[in-house]
Structure 1
């Protein structure tokens, strides 16, 4: 296994491991037995841990576990923690352990399909607990099977090892996929062969991206580098980089943001009697020139490749509803969401002077914009096609969100989605949505950074230059938290402020001074949604997804400040609750007092086939709760001196 392959395996392991630990495991308190064996060596011709999963497992006929009177299946559906069954887990013997194929290639191929659970006699004693190293990794017990998993802890857990009853066995990504599949099948009683294949495809995509990046030039603009930095992707999704329906990596790498892609858009002409549109579409008309009787329609070249051969598309070109007009003069850059691209203004930022974080440069010139396309590819939980009802939702919701941010006193900004255009008869296939560019919204002299890239890392990351993490974190909190809470309390707007929808503008020192939010499709208004689920969604996006990951990245760099970060965060939430003129927010007190918050259960949701718009949640520890924070300390008090001048 070469360095690139090892890097791909590590990047693919972390999100799946996060899912498994959040959704299917609990910390295990294990003593250190004397004379525990070391991890077994790799089999000939294989990397360590490449063989089939072995170790204690639950007997299939052992019956459902009962937790507070609920069966295992009911507990999983209701998100109740599930403990091990009464059948004591144990190591397999020669008669029960699966035999590894003699051929190493066959062994690796066997890992692509989850092996059956290993039957274990009920009267067999439990194996000895594993060793507990002096510089301890974390040990977890998997709830469904009782097996023990050891990981290297931290912001990005890694290096999983399974306790075999005699030693720790390293698990590469393929082994972790097999283990996760066994656990989810045991916990839910439901088989699923497609998700393990997606997990394997996600890991293959990571390796393909890393290979391409070796010879590709990153964008010069630091904001674009941050948008195209997410090689690992969603840190709590089992297959964040799979492109299901998009073909092998060779067919889509030229459109992948992680591979530093840039490409011209295809320009189509739509006959005027076939145009379907809403909003101010002048930005689309400015992309080129359409012949008389036609209107301009940009198209994503990948979507045209995917849909171009369908009968309805061929018919539209044959009857003259669509004509090809060439390509855009300016190259587009795909952003983190893949289907949304950035179209620069008159002076493309990637060909101008190098924009450095310390250089006070805006990432775009006047006339820049974003275009969001339908893309018939499943990425994470959904096929990224713009549905008719979603576009109508955007056109209802975006004016309300835009008005809310315009009425706020602070510098926070919203990227409005001002119009869409598509083709009659091909409404969802050819839809394009126009979103404001950054240039008109950023404070002068600032540089934007995608919040998700702060945690993943990239060349130009402001976190790499800070010396006072609490001051930086206080500034970040002041940018992000107040506008999100004010939008909810005063205007009844739920901003989907997760990491990929949040941009942070930093000054010359890398200090946050402004938050910019995007994606009206994910935004909600209380006039159309009950308050309780709306608040749950906000709490998940703001605290569990956004703040927790950025705080984790800071604590990884500055281990001494972990608890202090959340003390500062709690202070900021309490301060927001007392802002003059802000309507009472009764949910805020409950948020700060609750021991848990809703965490998205992506592994469970995908395993049971839950709709992407109706994911399952489970309780995760609330870092804002009183037991999680420390009393004010000198460093925390000093952090107040680092507030940006624009903070409310």
Structure 2
């Protein structure tokens, strides 16, 4: 992909439009975090109209328009409601978090600004880029908002735009993979990595190792000695493009029907996105458990297996590449896979844009997504990370969901390595709070007369699990606190939850 230049200096209207849209995209998830994690909802005050009003920890009232994607924040000051932009919103969040926690944090505000600026760069690039023809790839590359409850979902490590924009899925990027020769005595691998050997040709005494070109740039200083002494050699690039998916570091090569997941030494949402050694060493165990579970589950649901990894012993995490199953042998004939997160974000060709019967569509969706996730947990002790970004939903020619596919062994937890209670809480957060709640909210927004929750209750209650019975009557659900997690500097894998009102409870 060619870098897209910014609008001309005299194109003030275009730049202002991009700035306004970037502010709105960046403000929505930040407001979601602020309102969920530290604010108190209030009855609507006089003059609030269709806006919802909250009290912040410092006592200041804040009101916003909308619920799923809050917008147009206003603070009550000196007897009037004052509209604040994204920069002022970041300052407000910082002040309130200091009051709420007693802690300061100099990194997160910069990430919030970086996330907003990244959105502006992406909007400019998308306006002049050609989206993929394949609806599956369009769904993977649609996430301009990203995680709807993260304070900086589009931050790219604070680096210059020219460093990351060529590899951004949201900018419809596609690019060849870098090919390296790795000296045979330095190879570390486990599982089936044979697909890597078909990507090019390595010289005698070397094995082929594909690399993400962005990661090669990020790790250039650390890898320089290996290039100098011959442990690594550059072999050019693949003769085909790969497309970055929503996960950014996971690429799909349609011509080879191959997914490859790489390390990226960049903080994206909560974590530095390396393939960490401890995760790679347990990969065969978690993937095998998930694969066995899906082989025993009735119905069309499928698991996209992480078949193996290859790396260098001197740069185990920096150069690791993970091989994942493609789609052709997993998706039902005639069906089109789509990223669940893309359905929430929206993209050209989404079946939600033309579903003739949204209630029936939702019933079909739940019938594909819910049973395999519950069966994997109940019958096999496999806790899927079944959130929006790890779930594909395949639809038939009419747009009706006919299959669910799940991925990412790195996020799988196994019982009893985690307790049943902890595993269930994680599944409820990923499947219900992160996933079904978001799709339900889209349907409710588009179809005001539709209540999506009775169908969810029916879908869950078909499974004879004591945890399900408790879930349907519990007053709250676990909501992950991404803003407080990042503000307090907790490890990204150390999920912390706060209680959210449970929409599954019948009123």
TM > 0.5: yes
More strand by share: 2
Q: What is the CA distance between 1:292 and its match in structure 2?
A: 1.3
1:164 pairs with 2:77: yes
Deviations 1:345-384 (A, max 9, x none): 3xxxxxxxxxxxxxxxxxxxxx411000011000000000
* Contact kept? 1:205, 1:249, Cα under 8 Å: yes
1:14 pairs with 2:28: yes
Distance across 2 between alignment mates of 1:3 and 1:248: 22
* Contact kept? 2:44, 2:51, Cα under 8 Å: no
**DSSP 3-state at the match of 1:309:** helix
Aligned counterpart for 2:96 among listed residues 183, 192, 217: 183
* Contact kept? 2:274, 2:317, Cα under 8 Å: yes
* Contact kept? 1:330, 1:344, Cα under 8 Å: no
1:597 pairs with 2:477: yes
Provide TM-score, normalisation by structure 1: 0.75
Distance across 2 between alignment mates of 1:182 and 1:560: 39
**1:114-263 correspondence runs (5 A):** 131-133=47-49, 136-142=50-56, 144-244=57-157, 247-263=159-175
RMSD (Å) for aligned C-alpha atoms = 1.0
Distance across 1 between alignment mates of 2:130 and 2:45: 50
1:392 pairs with 2:308: no
Mark the runs of 5 or more structure 2 residues left unpaired by the alignment: 1-14
Mark the runs of 5 or more structure 1 residues left unpaired by the alignment: 33-130, 346-366, 578-584, 628-648
Q: What is the CA distance between 1:286 and its match in structure 2?
A: 1.0
The match for 1:39 is none
Distance across 2 between alignment mates of 1:309 and 1:31: 58
Deviations 1:331-353 (A, max 9, x none): 000000110000123xxxxxxxx
Higher Cα radius of gyration: 1
1:441 pairs with 2:353: no
Distance across 2 between alignment mates of 1:416 and 1:527: 22
Deviations 1:216-246 (A, max 9, x none): 100110110010000111000000000116x
1:321 pairs with 2:321: no
**1:506-525 correspondence runs (5 A):** 506-525=395-414
Runs of 4+ in 1 over 2 A off after TM superposition: none
**DSSP 3-state at the match of 1:521:** helix
Deviations 1:236-269 (A, max 9, x none): 0000000116x11121100000010000001101
**DSSP 3-state at the match of 1:230:** coil
Deviations 1:540-561 (A, max 9, x none): 0011000000001111110111
Distance across 1 between alignment mates of 2:113 and 2:309: 36
The match for 2:43 is 29
* Contact kept? 2:90, 2:112, Cα under 8 Å: yes
**DSSP 3-state at the match of 2:417:** coil
**DSSP 3-state at the match of 1:486:** helix
The match for 1:418 is 307
1:407 pairs with 2:296: yes
Distance across 2 between alignment mates of 1:170 and 1:31: 16
**DSSP 3-state at the match of 1:236:** coil
Q: What is the CA distance between 1:527 and its match in structure 2?
A: 2.9
**DSSP 3-state at the match of 2:308:** strand
Distance across 1 between alignment mates of 2:21 and 2:436: 26
Aligned counterpart for 2:440 among listed residues 551, 559, 564: 551
Aligned counterpart for 1:576 among listed residues 459, 463, 468: 463
* Contact kept? 1:151, 1:157, Cα under 8 Å: yes
**1:342-353 correspondence runs (5 A):** 342-345=252-255
Q: What is the CA distance between 1:155 and its match in structure 2?
A: 2.4
Aligned length: 493
